Amino acid sequence: MLLPLVLVLALTPPAAVVKVPGAEHQQLAHLADLTTTGTTATGHTDPADWAGLTSATLPVPAAVPGLQIDGYFPDKSSTNTNHGWNHDSQFVVRLPDHWNGGLVVTGAPGVREQYANDRAISDWVLSRGYAFASTDKGNTGAQFYRDGRAMEEWNHRFTQLTVAARSVVAQRYGRGPRRTIATGISNGGYLVRWQLENRPHLYDGGVDWEGTLWTVDGPNPLTFLPPALRAYPAYVAGAPGAHEAMVAAGFPAGTEFLWDYHYRYYWDLTQRIYREEFDPSFDGALEAGVPFCASGTPLCDADYSYAARRRVAGPLVSRIDLTGAVKRPLLTVHGTYDVLLPISQDSDVYAGMTPDRLHRYYRVEQGTHVDGLVDAYPDRLRPLAPCHRAAFVALERWLEGVEPPASATLGRPADVATCPLS
């Protein structure tokens, strides 16, 4: 039976009896509103976590009353400062009073913290009656690599939270979830892919919003970011062939208006910190290289060659790489104007790795990596949040036996707040 749109009041035991298995610390609060409208006012979210990820026009649903559990699992690192805890592996679990029988689990995009998906995902799924759980992935911030094999921990923490959240749901509502869905943005989308490949027994399906593709033979961010770091300064200087080099690296013509912002805020930092995660010896005693170094400078990340360094970096990438062997239904949405994770180097490739019977892939024309940029360029970009929601509904129907629309490239609709998948 399809999860009902009209939600049924759940009979719940006292909140005090709800315990997160394995948590070192937890605190509970019954809130009149679990959406960002309410949690911003009460301090049960951190707007800095989700800043810039959504368009200002994304609506917030009506109040959703319920129980929120904040806490952390045992961990030795302390990059996450939320609540003044200075403790990593923080999580949030939200349990609406009116529950539809489902659970949504997610992980933070980028190197953000556990509240990063509150506007983009939590608000909406709570309004549909789902329980919601999110993890900070076990380490946060631009120096996440100091945690040691930090990305391996990301996958472990997502699994850990899923197991714990399923138990919490059973405690709160008297029965376990009849549907568990994994979803996430960017690095959170990577986690969805990895979980459905490696821990499929925990989930019924997933929705991947521009997940990062890591493959040991490439492509991966270490293969396409250095060419951009070399070519972009030459492009700005008007050097012959530089524009062609940018396009060849995966950054398509038509997206030039986005390049400067991504060079200043994304490409350089992303290359250096992830290269430090997988190949710390490349720059000797330096930590995460030299910001914005010019090509030709010794040990400069603009000249990093993953192919030449594969013997060093490859074994660590292989511990977290993706194979495409998903074992539960997966829907992917990715914008054609994504110039952090270029679609030709990411989801186009991943779609070719996955079994057709379990994967649907929607290329979103004029979608870029973060919906916050839509506010600056409303005539040239469109938000991906409506397409994520449409894909989520399509997954719900798929799990009830209704085939989703075929994989397709989605043109810009007249109303970008909608996203027809066919």
8 Å CB contact between 351 and 407: yes
Q: With 0-12 CB in 10 A as exposed, 13-18 as middle and 19+ as buried, what is 118?
A: buried
Average pLDDT value for the chain? 95
Q: Give the model's confidence band at 8: pLDDT under 50 very low, under 70 low, under 90 confident, else very high.
A: very low
**Using the 8-state DSSP alphabet, how is residue 377 labeled?**
-
pLDDT at 161 over 60: yes
Q: Is the pLDDT of residue 9 over 80?
A: no
pLDDT tens across 306-364, in order?
A: 999 999 999 999 999 999 999 999 999 999 999 999 999 999 999 999 999 999 999 99
What's the pLDDT at 63?
Answer: 98
State pLDDT tens for residues 89-122.
999 999 999 999 999 999 999 999 999 999 999 9
- pLDDT tens, position by position, 216-243: 999 999 999 999 999 999 999 999 999 9
Phi-psi region of 329 (alpha: psi -120 to 50; beta: other; left: phi over 0): beta
Percent of residues, the chain, with pLDDT higher than 70: 96
Q: How confident is the model at residue 1 (pLDDT cuts 50, 70, 90)?
A: very low
H-helix or E-strand containing 332? strand 330-335
pLDDT given for residue 17 in this prediction: 83
Whether the predicted pLDDT of 75 surpasses 90: yes
